[in-house]
Structure 1
């Protein structure tokens, strides 16, 4: 019996650690049930800090300014993320020098990557470059190097980055999220109908996948 693929839209930002956790939990739910060939994932942009300057901002200072978190709270959150990362096989490396960066260029390149079937590969590479390797993902040369390693063409990447229409497209998409009252990431939308916001458990994603794939929940 053939099945049509389930469309899964992931709205996220490259500098969102909970996006890493949520996406890994989604992946675990898919792999656990051997649903890899029954889903079609597309990533959509969400800039947590669209006004962030290219040089970025110290992460701890940013968290204190934006969320009012104390140094102690910030450190506890970092340790929590490190442990969550270990549980899903992802390495978060935080130091006192860790910075948060503007991600606009990342999202432009992710749109190009989607057009050539390498979007997920680039997204994961960007997560790793930022959270594990501490790279400045607002730096064009850094991005070109990351993109080239996953199979993107340098000339095409530069063309996308310099295309005003691509930047306008990004603004339109992000305006759409605001109109839909989507203010948190990750938000994972199933079949253009139901969305789950935040890093949900493997079981929560599994339940949603079973529903939309028409799987009997008793067959576990």
Structure 2
């Protein structure tokens, strides 16, 4: 008999480690198939929360943010590209992307969740941003991602033109900031255990196994 876990994932579409972290979680869960199952719920976090900020070339922006040279940032990105490629992710345009505000993209993930497609939407957005250097703050890019996952682009356009899911995204961001989540990805298991960062699949397997075991031991007889 398998154990069920609930995993809340706090992440941003503009965060490469969030894409890598989820791909590693998928590998870990595949290794645990038959032993435990998990349902995933996505939560919003914005690395670039200013909706009026002008998109900047990513290497320039990261160099300014971290006080390191563009060459250093390029080397760090190259390392991430190698890791991502090994996980089957498309990061081929990672170095060509620009900074992006992801608020509407987070709204789109909330909307897709109502139709059981949150993870597919998140992955389509990751692919658009890291694989194709598209601006995931632009409406036409978002609608292409909607079509890619098989949802109704007209319905998505109407949703994005409204205030739908604005409060849900803001509530997410406030909740996890107040809970002390200051970097992403963050994985909260069963509302109780925090795993920070894009951990290796082997680490996740052991951590999830231990959490499931503790849950089983704490369950009423």
5+ residue gaps in structure 1?
216-220
* Offset at residue 177 of structure 1 (A): 1.4
* Closer/same/farther in 2, CA of residues 159 and 60 from structure 1, 3 Å limit: same
**Matched residue, 2:189:** 190
Q: Report the aligned-residue RMSD.
A: 2.0
Paired positions, count = 214
**Matched residue, 1:76:** 75
**Matched residue, 2:217:** none
SS at 1:86 equivalent: helix
- 1:199 and 1:61 map into 2 onto residues whose CA distance is 24
SS at 1:169 equivalent: helix
Query: What is the correspondence of 1:15-34 to structure 2 with a 5 Å cutoff?
Result: 15-34=14-33
* Offset at residue 49 of structure 1 (A): 0.7
* Offset at residue 138 of structure 1 (A): 1.0
**Matched residue, 1:153:** 152
- 2:34 and 2:111 map into 1 onto residues whose CA distance is 26
SS at 1:9 equivalent: strand
Decide whether the 8 Å contact of 2:7 with 2:39 is kept in 1: yes
SS at 2:165 equivalent: helix
- 1:95 and 1:197 map into 2 onto residues whose CA distance is 23
* Offset at residue 101 of structure 1 (A): 0.8
Q: 1:111-152, CA deviations, whole angstroms, 9 ceiling, x for partnerless residues?
A: 000000000111111111110111121110111111122122
Query: What is the correspondence of 1:92-131 to structure 2 with a 5 Å cutoff?
Result: 92-94=91-93, 97-131=96-130
**Matched residue, 2:199:** 200
Q: 1:17-42, CA deviations, whole angstroms, 9 ceiling, x for partnerless residues?
A: 11111111111111122159721011
- 2:29 and 2:196 map into 1 onto residues whose CA distance is 18
State TM-score, norm by structure 2: 0.89
